Structure 1
Amino acid sequence: MAFDNLCKLLSETYPDRFATWLLGETPTSIEVLKTELSIEPIRADSVTFLSTPGRILHLEFQVKIETTPPLSLRMLDYWVRLYRRYRLPITQVVILLKPVAEATEIESEFNFEQTRHRYRVVRMWEQDPEIFLQDPALLPLATLAATTNPEQLLSRVAKQVSMIETIEQRREVAARTQLLAGLKFEKGLIRKLFRGEAMRESVIYQEILEEGRQEGRQEGELALLLKLLTRRVGTLPPELQMQIQALPLTQIEELGEALLDFSELADLVAWLQTSQQ
């Protein structure tokens, strides 16, 4: 599963925390929108739509700046579809997870002839880590934040994770933190700082640290896939879970991409039927 899909999972699990971070205020209510915007869904790395009172917050997580179609065109396309459907103000934020080459131009608007559309770009490597270190929901993002001493930052993050009181939440946050840390840090350093017993038991942590073992990789991908599907289409019936668990690794990865276009359980059923054929 992709790093940006993990961020999508975080934003849909803790929409109030992401809205507070990006809008600068805590909304009185918030809803994760589970809807397609057109007959032909847009292919994207990872997109989250949050509905707050009087506003739509559109988050797009990106590891790479180069996309097809171009990111600026996609943002305009999404804005038009969202506004046509909801007729509300829309705040669009592209969150770049990984630094780009120094000479790379990072666009924050679409501009062609008389059409001009702007959106906000957040560079994670320029963000103050303190914003994320104080909140377990955002803690995994702290590994990607600004620092002059990366190892010290990762050590602080590991310490904050170890202070989470409940074992279940600590394991979950540790797994997500280590996965995102893989974008920036060597596995050896991650292993060194996250060596607690509870952290070693994490499925996703095992997937990161194992030396390419196929079985461990598949188990980690499957665990994250099931969580994403639940967020996307609701609780999965036991028979569908068993069907997904029986998929080979290649189809698990394909389903991880396809679920971005799902809006209801029937979409998942149709995909599984097609894959069997």
Structure 2
Amino acid sequence: MFDNVCKFLAEQFSPDFTRWLLGKPITLTQLSPTELSLEPIRADSLILLQSENMVLHLEFQTKPNPDIPFRMIDYRCRVYRRFPKKSMRQVVIYLCQSDSPLVHQNTFSIPRTRHEFEVIRLWEQPTGAFLGSPGLLPFAALSKTSDRFQTLQQTAQLIDNIANQRVQSNVAASTAIIAGLVLERDLINRLLRRDIMRESVIYQEMEQEILQKVNQEVRQEFRQEVRQELRQMLLRQLTRRLGNLTPELTEGVQKLPIEQLEALGEALLDFNELEELVSWLEQYN
């Protein structure tokens, strides 16, 4: 979830990010990992943006990741292979405070090879750096502040002042999600208006994902109930036709998947002896 939100912000507000990271606003376009000829290591956390002369590679991380240094040199080589004349800036941005030495690691090094990249720990960044640009507002609560709730309150006031309703709703929803890394949900809901967030692309995508997950769980639960009812019905029919089943035969029927249960429902009409059920189960097992 956090990967998708950070990727959305970087792509929609690229001038805000380049002003923060590069010192000047540059409008960038998305660079698909498929353009680099090789399959991405983990495309969901990868953000590649490009202009005519440069490529910006961002990695947002909630936890220390020992694989990051190799990822950085790997994508540097991939970009060079595809765009040898373009410069490249690579920045790893850690969202959650950590004492791990990994959040300070900014090189990949093996014998006779060394690659450097930039690392930003948001909890060390001044809050003011995020309050002047709509695309950076969602990260303000993670910055160097003595009162995260007050910082989120200030952020919410700035969001209310955004004139463009679409931008306002997208920034509000993104802020609510990212602030969840450091603040309780009820505190966030007190400051950020849910009616505004409902209009955002991020909020609507989350609702759709939740709806799909619920539907999938309901369908799975329904299939399990149908399967259980079918097992019980077959056991009753087998008992009427063949007499009491042994615990082993009962267990054998209960372990059958739905397709074999349906096949057993047809086959049992020809059974006259328990041995026939035993043979049938042995055949399918």
Question: Normalising by structure 2, what TM-score?
Answer: 0.67
Aligned to 1:72: 69
Partners of 1:45 and 1:85 lie apart in 2 by: 21
Runs of 4+ in 1 over 6 A off after TM superposition: 203-207, 244-247
Partners of 1:86 and 1:76 lie apart in 2 by: 15
Three-state SS of the structure 2 residue aligned to 1:138 is helix
Is the 1:179–1:204 contact (alpha carbons within 8 Å) kept by the matching residues of 2?
no
1:249-270, CA deviations, whole angstroms, 9 ceiling, x for partnerless residues?
79xxxxxxxxxxxxxxxxxxxx
1:91-111, CA deviations, whole angstroms, 9 ceiling, x for partnerless residues?
111111111136655310001
1:153 aligns with 2:141: no
Is the 1:91–1:119 contact (alpha carbons within 8 Å) kept by the matching residues of 2?
yes
Aligned to 1:221: 209
Which consecutive residues of structure 1, in runs of 5 or more, have no partner in the other structure? Answer: 208-216, 224-243, 251-277
Partners of 1:34 and 1:206 lie apart in 2 by: 24
Partners of 1:246 and 1:188 lie apart in 2 by: 23
Partners of 2:103 and 2:171 lie apart in 1 by: 33
Larger helix proportion of the pair: 2
Aligned to 2:61: 62
- Equivalences for 1:128-277 in 2 at 5 Å? 128-194=126-192, 196=193, 198-199=195-196, 201=198, 219=207, 221=209, 248=216
Q: Summarize the Cα distance change of 1:73–1:249 in structure 2 as closer, same or farther, 3 Å threshold.
A: farther
Is the 1:75–1:92 contact (alpha carbons within 8 Å) kept by the matching residues of 2?
yes
Q: Summarize the Cα distance change of 1:65–1:168 in structure 2 as closer, same or farther, 3 Å threshold.
A: same
Q: Summarize the Cα distance change of 1:173–1:246 in structure 2 as closer, same or farther, 3 Å threshold.
A: same
What is the RMSD of the two structures over their aligned residues, measured on CA atoms?
3.0
Identity among equivalent positions (%) equals 36
Is the 1:125–1:146 contact (alpha carbons within 8 Å) kept by the matching residues of 2?
yes
Out of 86, 97, 108, the position equivalent to 1:99 is 97
Q: Summarize the Cα distance change of 1:92–1:153 in structure 2 as closer, same or farther, 3 Å threshold.
A: same
Three-state SS of the structure 2 residue aligned to 1:146 is coil
Partners of 2:124 and 2:95 lie apart in 1 by: 10
Q: Summarize the Cα distance change of 1:100–1:221 in structure 2 as closer, same or farther, 3 Å threshold.
A: farther
Larger RCO, structure (CA 8 Å, separation 6 or more): 1
Is the 1:32–1:50 contact (alpha carbons within 8 Å) kept by the matching residues of 2?
yes
Q: Summarize the Cα distance change of 1:63–1:44 in structure 2 as closer, same or farther, 3 Å threshold.
A: farther
Which consecutive residues of structure 2, in runs of 5 or more, have no partner in the other structure? Answer: 219-285
Aligned to 1:127: 125
1:153-173, CA deviations, whole angstroms, 9 ceiling, x for partnerless residues?
111111111222243332222
Aligned to 1:48: 47
Is the 1:203–1:219 contact (alpha carbons within 8 Å) kept by the matching residues of 2?
no
Partners of 1:103 and 1:89 lie apart in 2 by: 28
1:144-189, CA deviations, whole angstroms, 9 ceiling, x for partnerless residues?
1110121211111111112222433322221111010001111121
Three-state SS of the structure 2 residue aligned to 1:137 is helix
CA drift of 1:133 comes to 1.2
Q: Summarize the Cα distance change of 1:104–1:83 in structure 2 as closer, same or farther, 3 Å threshold.
A: closer
Larger radius of gyration: 2
How many correspondences in the alignment? 216
CA drift of 1:135 comes to 1.5
CA drift of 1:206 comes to 7.7
Partners of 1:53 and 1:249 lie apart in 2 by: 46
Partners of 2:203 and 2:44 lie apart in 1 by: 24
Three-state SS of the structure 1 residue aligned to 2:141 is helix
Aligned to 1:10: 9
1:84-134, CA deviations, whole angstroms, 9 ceiling, x for partnerless residues?
110122111111111113665531000111111000001111112212212
Is the 1:222–1:245 contact (alpha carbons within 8 Å) kept by the matching residues of 2?
yes
Partners of 2:15 and 2:217 lie apart in 1 by: 34
Three-state SS of the structure 1 residue aligned to 2:135 is coil
Is the 1:128–1:146 contact (alpha carbons within 8 Å) kept by the matching residues of 2?
yes
